Structure 1
Amino acid sequence: MTHLWVRAEQRDNETRVGLTPEGAAALMVAGIDVTVERSPSRVIADEAYAQAGCTMAQSHTWPDAPQETIIFGLKELQEEDSPLIHRHIMFGHAFKGQPAGLRLLRRFRKGGGTLLDLEYLTDAQGRRLAAFGYWAGYAGAAVALKCWAAQQTGQLAAALGAYETSAHLLSDLRVDLEATETDRPNALIIGAQGRVGSGVADLCAEMGVATTKWDLAETASGGPFPEVLTHDLFFNCVLARPGTPVFVPVEAIKQPRKLSVIADIACDPDSDFSPIKVYDQTTSWETPALRVHEHPVLDVTAIDNLPSLLPLESSKDYAEQLLPVLKSLADPDAPVWTRARATFDEHIAKL
C-alpha cells in the first residue's frame, strides 16, 4: 500500500498544511495509508486528523519511517548533512542553482532519495496543477502597502503576524492606510494574468489602489522598462527562470523615480535569473522591508512564505487543488509523478 507521511513543518511562522483531514480521508478511501505528525502550530488541529482516521506520529519522526514511505511537507527541511533516503514531496527550491538547493540535492544523492518538487507538478502542457500563488499575491500586496504606509510617516514596516481570515487582514490594512492621510498610491503588476498577479490585483482593488497590469505582451521586448520607475509600487509576480527579463536593474536605485516599494512576490533573490537586481536577500515577518536606498527612499519586501499570513484560507485552497494529484500516488506510472521524477533526475545528473 502507498504510504503518505505528512510531516510537521519546522520553519518559524509556517502553520500551513497541504492536506486537510477531509482530503486525508479521501486518500485513505483511494487506498493510500496516511500518517500525520502531531504539530502544535499547524493551523488545523491534530484531533481533526485523528478523527479522520489518520495514523498519528510524534513531530519530526519521519526520518525513522520505512524507506518506501513518501514524506510530504510544504517548506524546506532544516539544513543538515544527513542523507535523505525517502521520496519527499515539498517546495525544495533546488532546481535554479540556489546554494541551499544544491546542498539539499547532495543530501538526496547521498541517501538515494528523491525530491518530487511541488513547483514542478505539472500537466502535459507544463501548467502547474496546484499553487499557493493567489494567496501569495493577495498577502504580498498587503505587505507592500504596509511598507508604503510606514514610509509616509518616516518608518519601516512593523513586524507581521498571521491573520485569522482575509477580512481581518483587510480591516487592519485599512487602518494603516487611513492613518497616512494621503492619497492611495498606484502600482504596476508584472505577471498580472497569473494566479499571483490576480491576487495582487484583487487586494489592490479592495484598497482603492489603481493598477497597471502587464504580462508577456508588455515585457516581450526584454527591456529596459522605465515605466516601473513611474509607479509608487512595483509587484513582480514572475518566477525567475532562464530568459526572464530584468525589470529593475542595479542602476535603477539612482535614477529619477516615483517608485518607493518593490514587492518581489516571486521571491528568488539568490537565483541568477532574478529580475530584481537591487537586492540579494529575502525579508522576514520580523523585518518585512529591506531599505536599499535612502534618498529618495526605496524599500524591497520579499517574503518567501506569504500565504502563511492567511494560513487557513490558503491551506484549504491549495489542498483542494493538490488532492487529485496526491490520489494518483497509488499509480506508480502516473504521468505527473513521472515528470517530477525526471526533473529531479536531470538536476541530480548535473551535480
Structure 2
Amino acid sequence: MPTQKAHFWLRDEDRATERRTALTPKNARILIEQGFGVTVERSTKRAFSNEDYESAGCYMAEPRSWVDAPSDMVILGLKELAETPAELPHHMIHFAHIYKDQTGWEKEMARFVNGGGLLYDIEFLVNDDGRRVAAFGYWAGWMGAALGAHRLLERRAGRDEITKGVSPFESQAVIIDKLKALAAEVDGPLPNAIVVGAKGRSGTGASECLEAVGIPVTKWDIEETRILNRTALLSHNMLVNCVLMTGPGLLLANQTHLAAPQSRMKVISDVSCDPFSDFNPLPIYKEPTSWTDPVIEVGKNGDGDAVEVTSIDNLPSLLPAQAAEEFSDQFLASLLRFAEGPEWKNAETKFHQIREKAGL
C-alpha cells in the first residue's frame, strides 16, 4: 500500500514583525493537488491573505492552535518558537538557531527531546552535496546592504531617519529610489563599501544592491580572508558581513580594531547576525538590533566618527512577499518529497547529533 502523505500545519509566526512564510498559497495548492494535507493558521501579519489560502483549498485554523494539534501534524514555520509549550511532541520545520552553540540551545533541544518531537532545522536541510535546498540569503544580503547604505548616506547628508525605526517596503525599486535620492543630496564621490562573503547568496544580494545605488564595492570571499588584511578591510566606510560561520577561525574586527588610526569604518551591516555564537566574527555587539531600534553605536573610528551596527535577524521580512515567494518556490520540491528525501534524512541526523552533544 502507498504511504500516506504528510499533513503540513502552517503556523502563525510568534514574532510580531515576521511577515514572511515558508509556504505561499500557490504552492499550498500544489501540495494539496499532490495528496498532502495543508492546514493554515489565520494570520493578521502574513504577507498573503487568509482568503488566498482558503481559495487554494487549505484547512484554516486559529493562531497558535498547532499547540493542541494531533501529534502526526508536521508543524511548518520560519522563525524560532515562543518559550511555551515546555515540551514539543510534533515534527517541526523552522529556523531554530540552536545548532551553533547559541545562547539557550540546550534548553531548546530539551523541549523536543522531552516531548518526543523532532526538529528539521531549515538551515540544515541540505542535499548530499551539502548544499541547502532553500534559503533567504539573497534577500537578507540585499536588504542588509540597503539598510547599511541608508544609514551611511543619511549621515553623509546630515539626516537621521533610520534610527527612528524601519517597516516593510513595497518593493526593491522604492528602496533604490530612496537611496539614490539620499546619495544625490551631497556632491562628490560616494562612500565605499566592502562585502565579505561576496560569492554566496547573501553576498550576491548585498553587492547587487550597492551597485544599483552606485556605491563602489570591494568583494571578498574565502581567498581574501584566509590571511586577513584588516587595515584594508577597515579602510572602507561600510562593511556588509555575509560570512556564515560554522566554527572558529575568522575575526573581522573588534572594538580595538575599529578604533585604529587607519580605520575609516562608519557602518557595519552584519547580515549573518550571530552575536550569541562563540564563532561570531564581529564580537562588537551583544544582541541583534530590531525594527524599532535598527542601529546602535559600537565605537569610534580613527577619525573619531561613530561606528554603527545594524544587525536585524529577519531582514527579508522587510520585503516579505518577494522574499517568501522565492523561498517557497525553492522549498516546494523538498516538501513534495517529505520525509524521504536526502535533505530530511540529513536534517534528522543533524538533530540527533546535537541531541547527543547536549547529553539528552
Letter of the structure 2 residue corresponding to residue 172 of structure 1: K
Q: Equivalences for 1:290-329 in 2 at 5 Å?
A: 290-294=296-300, 295-329=304-338
TM-score by length of 1: 0.95
> Does the Cα contact within 8 Å between 1:134 and 1:196 map onto a contact in 2?
yes
SS in 1 for 2:332: helix
Aligned-pair distance for 1:167?
1.3
TM-score by length of 2: 0.93
Aligned-pair distance for 1:301?
0.8
Cα distance change on mapping 1:182 and 1:76 into 2, 3 Å: farther
Q: Equivalences for 1:103-142 in 2 at 5 Å?
A: 103-142=107-146
Cα distance change on mapping 1:318 and 1:7 into 2, 3 Å: same
Distance 2:201 2:207 in 1: 10
Residue equivalent to 1:15: 19
Query: Where has structure 1 moved over 4 Å in runs of 4 or more?
Result: none
Q: Do residues 218 (structure 1) and 224 (structure 2) align?
A: yes
Over the matched positions of the two proteins, sequence identity in percent amounts to 37
Letter of the structure 1 residue corresponding to residue 343 of structure 2: V
Residue equivalent to 1:345: 352
Per-residue CA distance 1:220-279 (angstroms, 9 max, x = gap): 22x352211100111110112214411113421321211111111010011000111222
Distance 2:84 2:153 in 1: 39
Q: Do residues 227 (structure 1) and 232 (structure 2) align?
A: yes
Aligned-pair distance for 1:103?
2.4
Aligned-pair distance for 1:156?
7.1
Aligned-pair distance for 1:101?
3.0
Letter of the structure 2 residue corresponding to residue 218 of structure 1: E
Letter of the structure 2 residue corresponding to residue 347 of structure 1: I
Residue equivalent to 2:54: 50
SS in 2 for 1:99: coil
Distance 1:244 1:6 in 2: 38
Task: Extract unaligned runs of 5+ from structure 1.
Answer: none
Q: Do residues 150 (structure 1) and 159 (structure 2) align?
A: no
SS in 1 for 2:287: coil
SS in 2 for 1:277: coil
Aligned-pair distance for 1:4?
0.4
Task: Extract unaligned runs of 5+ from structure 2.
Answer: none
Distance 1:150 1:173 in 2: 9
SS in 2 for 1:259: coil
Residue equivalent to 2:295: 289
Aligned-pair distance for 1:180?
4.6
Letter of the structure 2 residue corresponding to residue 306 of structure 1: L
What is the aligned counterpart of 2:275 among 248, 269, 278?
269
Q: Aligned pairs, how many?
A: 348
Cα distance change on mapping 1:227 and 1:309 into 2, 3 Å: same
Residue equivalent to 1:278: 284
Aligned-pair distance for 1:286?
1.0
Per-residue CA distance 1:123-180 (angstroms, 9 max, x = gap): 1111111110101111111100122123332747331110121112222223333335
Task: Name which of structure 1's ranges 87-96 and 241-250 shifts more when overlaid on structure 2.
Answer: 241-250
Task: Name which of structure 1's ranges 127-136 and 166-175 shifts more when overlaid on structure 2.
Answer: 166-175
Q: Do residues 201 (structure 1) and 197 (structure 2) align?
A: no
> Does the Cα contact within 8 Å between 2:255 and 2:299 map onto a contact in 1?
no
SS in 2 for 1:197: helix
Distance 1:160 1:274 in 2: 25
> Does the Cα contact within 8 Å between 2:248 and 2:278 map onto a contact in 1?
no
Q: Equivalences for 1:86-105 in 2 at 5 Å?
A: 86-105=90-109
Residue equivalent to 1:26: 30
